[in-house]
């Protein structure tokens, strides 16, 4: 089977047009800046949970640090951005999260996360909500 002279073009196109990796050095700089600030997890904060992040955890750990976009990149138009790339690289739009919290959030808006958090907190005084990540004292 022939794959043509440039079999990697498909892969290269995908990498090139991923707004999160297009401007790699800027993204790495933003990531380092959030880490240097020792930011807590904004999602745990919204739920009134213990929000500190252990920045030394390996990247695949559920409680590891991840960069999150407050206006999700897939919803950049709603945030008034001119492009997905601008949305992904605007430092004011970035926040720190635990990996598991970020996965739970998906592309919910900040308002949607707040609504879920306030609903859960009314139902149970502990306000643990639906977040999958156990708090440190629950481990
Ligand atoms: Zn969290």
pLDDT in tens, 90-111: 999 999 999 999 999 999 999 9
Residue 12 lies in a domain: no
pLDDT of residue 71: 97
How many domains is the chain partitioned into structurally? 1
Residue 2 lies in a domain: no
Residue 49 lies in a domain: yes
Instruction: Read off the DSSP letter of residue 43.
Output: H
Residue 119 lies in a domain: yes
Q: For residue range 5-15, what is the model confidence (pLDDT) as tens digits?
A: 565 655 555 55
Residue 20 lies in a domain: no
Which residues does 133 contact at the CB level (< 8 Å), separation at least 6?
44, 62, 63, 98, 100, 101, 104
Q: CA-CA distance, 82 to 41, in Å (whole number)?
A: 27
CA distances to 6, 37, 69, 103 from 76, rounded to whole Å, are 33, 25, 10, 18
Query: 4 CA distance to ligand 1 centroid (A)?
Result: 46
Query: 133 CA distance to ligand 1 centroid (A)?
Result: 7
Q: For residue range 20-50, what is the model confidence (pLDDT) as tens digits?
A: 777 788 889 999 999 999 999 999 999 988 8
Residue-by-residue DSSP string for 70-116:
SS-GGGGGGGT-SSHHHHHH-GGGEEEEEHHHHHHHTT--HHHHHHH
Residue 18 lies in a domain: no
> What's the pTM?
0.77
Query: 70 CA distance to ligand 1 centroid (A)?
Result: 14
pLDDT above 50 (res 113) = yes
**Residue 65 belongs to domain spanning:** 40-123
Residue 6 lies in a domain: no
Query: 116 CA distance to ligand 1 centroid (A)?
Result: 14
Residue 15 lies in a domain: no
């Amino acid at each position: 089977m022939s794959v043509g002279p440039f079999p990697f073009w498909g892969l290269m196109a995908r990498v090139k047009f991923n707004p999160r990796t297009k401007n790699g050095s800027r993204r790495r700089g933003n990531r380092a800046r959030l880490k240097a600030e020792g930011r807590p997890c904004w999602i745990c904060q919204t739920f009134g949970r213990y929000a500190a992040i252990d920045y030394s955890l390996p990247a695949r750990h559920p409680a590891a640090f991840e960069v999150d976009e407050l206006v999700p990149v897939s919803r950049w138009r709603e945030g008034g951005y001119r492009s997905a790339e601008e949305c992904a690289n605007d430092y004011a739009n970035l926040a720190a999260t635990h990996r598991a919290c970020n996965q739970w959030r998906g592309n919910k808006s900040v308002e949607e996360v707040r609504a879920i958090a306030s609903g859960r907190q009314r139902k149970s005084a502990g306000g643990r909500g639906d977040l999958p990540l156990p708090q440190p004292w629950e481990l």
